[in-house]
């Protein structure tokens, strides 16, 4: 069959790489299309220029090319209801409906769902003005967490270490810094613990675990500096032991999927749970309605099944009939090479070389923000490449990823030097 993959980052390159190996594409006429894609995605797919906010344009393409599966990578088209438009037209789609994508698109929606269904998460208050926020703050201890309600490209969350900082964060939200995403805010109790990301595939009813990862959100070594979309990740996150994973599944993910179905918004696609491992147990920080970026890159390196078949089974409500997804026991680790200036204004246009040399070291290099300038591969975004490698243990995966990263020639780029450090320390101390 023909498949259409939507999105343009490192996540989509990893998905394209894995989809291209699917039996769904085994007949000679079968094609993988991607829009808008990037030069890495183009190694596996035919790129097409579609305006993703124009649903009728996407539908016309699907009908003209007899697309049998659409895979939606990023959150914006999901929250915009593209999956609904495709499903109404009978096109199988991997990704949740607009109503279900509220799990990512509205923090207040998710917190209230958790409250209604007794799903463990931080205590919260929902506020609709700065003055209401200031009053509500009185009932929270410091530190306190302030969040814009809607999608804010990962920038809408402040962990405030003082009342002043909390007040400033509230003022910024209600002054319109995040546009419509800041029409409401959520104030949350601060949770202490280590974070882990947990993934599950679901067709709205059946839930299938799909691995764990740990991301590094701060720009600097040692987890300092401003937040980013993620500077590196590794999988699995062993801190999420089988016992804790069971707790996350039974107390958080399964009850959420059941609640969404019961409330008439069945969730279909991948559900990404950001978890805090607290002393009182596993608690939900937030949901994403998509694979993480760069978490997807490490999951795809370890995933041993047929991604197309699994995604189609989720799209066609038959996840209960497939074999459980299998993952390599090895650890995968990815290092993000970013353009100087990121997460502020990244320097665009820097020349990139050495990818073949890096891959000759055994790594897989996924393209995130790259473009072709004539024959030259150049940087065209903040996060530019994801140098990804496997190892028997995290220390080996880290060494392999950095050896490969050392072969990349990207004078205008930088990367963190310590991706995986928590796990490497634990491994070194024999825990
Ligand atoms: P979010 O976008 O909701 O995942 O928040 C971004 C980051 O803020 C998370 O990865 C956590 O590091 C932190 N965070 C969010 N909510 C809380 C909370 N209630 N307690 C402690 N840290 C939090
Ligand atoms: N790496 C974090 C995210 O994709 O949300």
Cis omega (within 30 of 0) on the bond before 219?
no
Q: Could you tell me the distance, in angstroms and rounded to a whole number, from the CA of residue 90 to the centre of ligand 2?
A: 30
Q: Is the pLDDT confidence value at 426 over 80?
A: yes
Give the predicted TM-score (pTM) of the model.
Answer: 0.96
Answer whether 292 contacts ligand 2 (Cβ < 6 A). Answer: yes
Beta-carbon contacts of 218 under 8 Å, excluding residues fewer than 6 positions away, are 224, 225, 226, 227, 228, 231
Answer whether 75 contacts ligand 2 (Cβ < 6 A). Answer: no
Q: Could you tell me the distance, in angstroms and rounded to a whole number, from the CA of residue 248 to the centre of ligand 2?
A: 19
- Collapsing DSSP states into helix, strand and coil, what is residue 12? helix
- Nearest-angstrom CA–CA distance, 290 and 156: 18
Q: How confident is the model at residue 181 (pLDDT cuts 50, 70, 90)?
A: confident
pLDDT score for 419:
98
CA angle 79, 159, 426 (to 5 degrees): 95
Q: What is the pLDDT of residues 357-368, one digit of tens each?
A: 999 999 999 999
| Mean pLDDT in residue range 74-96 | 97
Q: What is the pLDDT of residues 367-420, one digit of tens each?
A: 999 999 999 999 999 999 999 999 999 999 999 999 999 999 999 999 999 999
* Residue to substitute in 7, 105, 154 for testing ligand 2 pocket (most ligand atoms within 8 angstroms of CB): 154
Helix (H) or strand (E) holding 68: strand 67-72
pLDDT score for 46:
98
* Residue to substitute in 173, 237, 285, 343 for testing ligand 1 pocket (most ligand atoms within 8 angstroms of CB): 285
pLDDT score for 431:
65
pLDDT score for 176:
81
Q: Could you tell me the distance, in angstroms and rounded to a whole number, from the CA of residue 285 to the centre of ligand 1?
A: 6
Q: Is the pLDDT confidence value at 308 over 70?
A: yes
pLDDT score for 183:
84
Q: Is the pLDDT confidence value at 422 over 80?
A: yes
Answer whether 172 contacts ligand 2 (Cβ < 6 A). Answer: no
Helix (H) or strand (E) holding 391: strand 383-391
- Nearest-angstrom CA–CA distance, 234 and 244: 18
Answer whether 230 contacts ligand 2 (Cβ < 6 A). Answer: yes
Return the residue matching tokens 């004078």. 411
pLDDT score for 306:
98
Q: Is the pLDDT confidence value at 150 over 90?
A: no
For the chain, the C-alpha Rg in angstroms (whole number) is 21
**Residue nearest atom 16 in ligand 1 by C-alpha distance:** 285
Q: Which atom of ligand 2 is nearest to the CA of 274?
A: 5
Q: 322 with 309: CB under 8 angstroms? A: yes
- Nearest-angstrom CA–CA distance, 233 and 306: 23
Answer whether 293 contacts ligand 2 (Cβ < 6 A). Answer: yes
Q: Is the pLDDT confidence value at 227 over 90?
A: no
Q: How confident is the model at residue 97 (pLDDT cuts 50, 70, 90)?
A: very high
Q: What is the pLDDT of residues 23-74, one digit of tens each?
A: 999 999 999 999 999 999 999 999 999 999 999 999 999 999 999 999 999 9
Beta-carbon contacts of 137 under 8 Å, excluding residues fewer than 6 positions away, are 144, 163, 166, 167, 170, 187
Query: CA–CA distance from 390 to each of 38, 198, 431 (Å)?
Result: 24, 19, 21
Beta-carbon contacts of 425 under 8 Å, excluding residues fewer than 6 positions away, are none
- Give the bridge partners for 72, in sequence order: 6
Mean pLDDT score of the chain, rounded to an integer? 96
What are the φ/ψ torsions at residue 405 (nearest 5 degrees)? -60, -30
Q: Which residues line ligand 1 (CB under 6 A)?
A: 122, 145, 147, 157, 159, 188, 190-191, 195, 217, 274, 285-286
Q: Is the pLDDT confidence value at 210 over 70?
A: yes
* Residue to substitute in 286, 287, 289, 343 for testing ligand 1 pocket (most ligand atoms within 8 angstroms of CB): 286
């Amino acid at each position: 069959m023909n498949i259409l993959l939507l999105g343009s980052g490192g996540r989509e390159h990893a998905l394209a790489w894995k989809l291209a190996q699917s039996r769904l594409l085994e007949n000679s006429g079968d094609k993988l299309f991607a829009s808008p894609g990037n030069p890495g995605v183009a190694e596996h797919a035919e790129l097409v220029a579609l305006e993703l906010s124009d649903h009728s344009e996407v539908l016309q393409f699907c009908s003209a090319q007899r697309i049998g599966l659409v895979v939606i990578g990023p959150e914006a088209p999901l929250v915009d209801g593209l999956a609904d438009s495709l499903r109404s037209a009978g096109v199988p789609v991997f990704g949740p409906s607009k109503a279900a994508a509220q799990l990512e698109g509205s923090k207040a929606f998710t917190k209230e769902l958790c409250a209604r269904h007794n799903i463990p998460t931080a205590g919260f208050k929902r506020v609709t003005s700065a003055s209401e926020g200031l009053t509500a703050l009185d009932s929270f201890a410091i530190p306190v967490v302030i969040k814009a309600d809607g999608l804010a490209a990962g920038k809408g969350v402040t962990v405030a270490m003082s009342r002043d900082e909390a007040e400033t964060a509230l003022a910024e939200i209600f002054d319109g810094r995040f546009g419509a995403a800041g029409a409401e805010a959520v104030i949350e109790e601060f949770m202490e613990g280590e974070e882990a990301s947990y993934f599950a595939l679901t067709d709205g009813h059946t839930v299938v675990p799909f691995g764990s990862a740990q991301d590094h959100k701060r720009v600097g070594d040692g987890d300092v500096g401003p937040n980013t979309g993620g500077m590196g990740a590794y999988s699995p996150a062993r801190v999420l032991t089988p016992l804790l994973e069971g707790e996350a599944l039974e107390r958080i993910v399964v009850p959420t999927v059941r609640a969404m179905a019961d409330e008439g918004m069945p969730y279909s696609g991948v559900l990404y749970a950001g978890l805090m491992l607290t002393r009182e147990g596993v608690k939900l920080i937030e949901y994403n309605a998509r694979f993480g970026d760069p978490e997807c890159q490490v999951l795809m390196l370890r995933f041993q099944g047929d991604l197309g078949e699994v995604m189609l089974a989720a799209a066609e409500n038959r996840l209960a009939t497939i074999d459980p997804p299998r993952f390599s026991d090895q650890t995968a680790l990815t290092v993000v090479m970013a353009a100087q200036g990121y997460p502020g204004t990244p320097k665009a246009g820097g020349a990139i070389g050495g990818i073949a040399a890096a891959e000759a070291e055994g790594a897989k290099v996924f393209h995130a923000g790259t473009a072709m300038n004539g024959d030259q591969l150049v940087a065209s975004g903040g996060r530019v490449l994801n140098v990804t490698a496997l190892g028997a243990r995290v220390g080996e995966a880290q060494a392999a990823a950095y050896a490969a990263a050392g072969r990349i020639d990207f004078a205008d780029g930088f990367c963190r030097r310590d991706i995986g450090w928590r796990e490497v320390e634990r491994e070194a101390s024999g825990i």
